[in-house]
Each structure stands twice: as C-alpha cells, then as structure tokens.
C-alpha cells in the first residue's frame, strides 16, 4: 500500500508572468529544502545532482489556443533554468518530480512531486502542491514528515500569504478529499474562497474573511477544536487541530468539522468504500 501526504496552498494567480515565476520558484525551492532530506535521506545538494541516484523530471503543461502541450525534461541545471523561464508564460502546470529507483533502476519509491497548477475554468486561481508518496507509513509515530509539511505551510504563508492552505494524507491534489467526495470542481470552490474553505484537515491556513465567517479567533478557540491558532500576515491564521498528526483521529476530525461548519461547502459526503482513508464526517 502506498502512503501519501500532501501540502496544498491556494493563491490568486499573479497578474504578471514574473510574479508567477517567482511564486513557483519560491515554492519549489522551499518545498525541496523542507522535505527533500527527510523523504530521501540525502542532502539537498545530492538530490540536485543530475548524476546522482535519484530519477528527477521537470514537466510543463501549456494551453494555447485550445491546444494542450506537455514538455518533460531531465532535471539538469540548464533544464531547470528553461523550466523556470517557462513560468513567465504562466502555464497550466509546472512540476518537479523526484523519485528513488527500484531494483531494476526504474521509477520507484519514495517520491516527491512539487507542482503549480492553474485551471482552465478559473484561471484567476492557482494551487501549489507538494506530494510525498512512500511504501512506508508516513503517519507512523515519530515520523518527521507531517511536522515538516506543517512547517512548510507555515513558512510559505508567512512570506506569501495564501487564500487557503492545508496538510492532508487524504487529498487528491490539487483537490481536497471533501471536494472529491462531493464531486466539486475548481470552479465550484475556488471562486468562493473569500468566505468558505474547500476542505478541513489537521493544519490549515485560512484568510480573514473566512475567519470572520467562522466566528472569529475567540469563537474558534472556544470550540476546543484547535490546540493553537497562530496569527499570520494580512489577517490570516494558522490552525492546528492536534499537537501531532498521529493524534488527528476521528474525534479530532469531528471537532474541526463542527468548528468550520459555517464555512464548508454545501453538501454531506457519503462514505465510499473505495476511499476508506478519507478523514471526513459522513452523513447517514
């Protein structure tokens, strides 16, 4: 079984290509530095080495005049610069994928994929993701990766305040488990990000309007759903449901769901036996 853990962050798409490029560059480098060593057991310089043990690929998906094109490159210093230059065009997807080799030298585990996604139906929104996939349990007691993911989200939000962000082991990036369960698409949720969230999880960043719609800081503290609520720039807050990811079990999920009920999308998810790992509160 493959274990997964992801950081997802929503932003309004910058107006200029240079701003978009800078946002993608900052996210890629920050995610690589925060997560790479713990995922692969190698220093970041070793991960960057094109002659090293890992398989690394750069991918750019562009949409022009209704035609989608995909370009993939090996991760070399020159190709990385070409990859970053592509950000000036604000493509539909940009991603760096790094993976260990299996016994045959092919694509294996663990894997780390760092991406930026734009959406054809709502191009004014973008989502940054960092996805970890492993054959070993990621949420095991003492594993540093959940806390590293939380630190990545917090650090990014301090420098580049997002509209929404969260860490989860049940997401299907760039969608949340709640969106997947309710059948919601990007244009159903992201345009409503000023006063609603598209999911709930162990740690989250929410904006000032969502915070107000949820009842404000003191109200959220009074619910008992969060062990900490930390202020961030531009009126945003960092919500943490439990001290460790391992403690984020059914009771904690229910508390968070109840606390954020006023700002969740309409609809009640139904349990799907194909996705028993989704951390949702179900109806029926």
Q: Does the pLDDT of residue 139 top 80, yes or no?
A: no
Alpha helices in 41-100 (DSSP H): 44-48, 77-86
Give per-residue pLDDT as tens, 148-174.
999 999 999 999 999 999 999 999 999
Q: How far apart are CA 187 and CA 189, in angstroms?
A: 6
pLDDT band at 284 (very low <50, low <70, confident <90, very high): low
Angle between helices 17-40 and 77-86 (to 10 degrees): 140
pLDDT band at 142 (very low <50, low <70, confident <90, very high): confident
Give per-residue pLDDT as tens, 79-129.
999 999 999 999 999 999 999 999 998 999 999 999 999 998 999 999 999
Question: What token pair was written down for 163?
Answer: 């509209």
Segment 207-231 mean pLDDT:
98
Q: Tell me how far CA of residue 147 lies from CA of 9, 156, 219, in angstroms.
A: 16, 14, 26
The HSE-up count of residue 103 (CA atoms within 13 Å, CB side) is 0
Look at strands 93-101 and 55-64 and give their pairing: antiparallel
Residue-range domain boundaries for the chain: 14-135, 137-284
Q: Does the pLDDT of residue 4 top 90, yes or no?
A: yes
pLDDT band at 137 (very low <50, low <70, confident <90, very high): confident
pTM > 0.85: yes or no: yes
Q: Are 156 and 29 in contact (CB under 8 A)?
A: no
Q: Does the pLDDT of residue 243 top 70, yes or no?
A: yes
């Amino acid at each position: 079984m493959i274990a997964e853990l992801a950081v997802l962050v929503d932003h309004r798409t910058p107006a200029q290509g240079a701003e978009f490029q800078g946002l993608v560059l900052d996210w890629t480098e920050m995610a690589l530095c925060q997560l790479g060593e713990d995922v692969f057991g190698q220093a970041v310089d070793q991960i960057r080495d094109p002659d090293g043990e890992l398989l690394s690929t750069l991918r750019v998906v562009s949409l022009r005049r209704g035609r989608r094109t995909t370009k993939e490159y090996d991760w070399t210093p020159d190709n990385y610069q070409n990859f970053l230059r592509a950000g000036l065009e604000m493509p539909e997807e940009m991603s760096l994928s790094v993976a260990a080799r299996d016994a045959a030298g092919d694509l294996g585990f663990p894997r780390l994929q760092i991406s930026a996604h734009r959406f054809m139906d709502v191009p004014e929104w973008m989502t940054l993701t960092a996805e970890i996939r492993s054959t070993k349990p990621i949420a095991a007691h003492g594993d540093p990766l959940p806390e590293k993911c939380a630190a990545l989200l917090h650090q990014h939000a301090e420098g580049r305040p997002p509209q929404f962000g969260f860490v989860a082991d049940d997401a299907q990036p760039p969608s949340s488990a709640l969106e997947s369960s309710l059948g919601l698409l990007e244009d159903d949720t992201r345009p409503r990000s000023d006063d609603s969230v598209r999911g709930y999880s162990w740690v989250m960043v929410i904006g000032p309007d969502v915070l107000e719609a949820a009842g404000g800081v003191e109200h959220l503290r009074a619910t008992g759903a969060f062990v900490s609520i930390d202020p961030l720039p531009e009126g945003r807050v960092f919500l943490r449901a439990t001290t460790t990811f391992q403690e984020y079990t059914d009771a904690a999920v229910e508390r968070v769901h109840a606390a954020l009920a006023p700002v969740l999308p309409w609809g009640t998810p139904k349990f799907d036996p194909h996705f028993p790992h989704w951390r949702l509160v179900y109806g029926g």
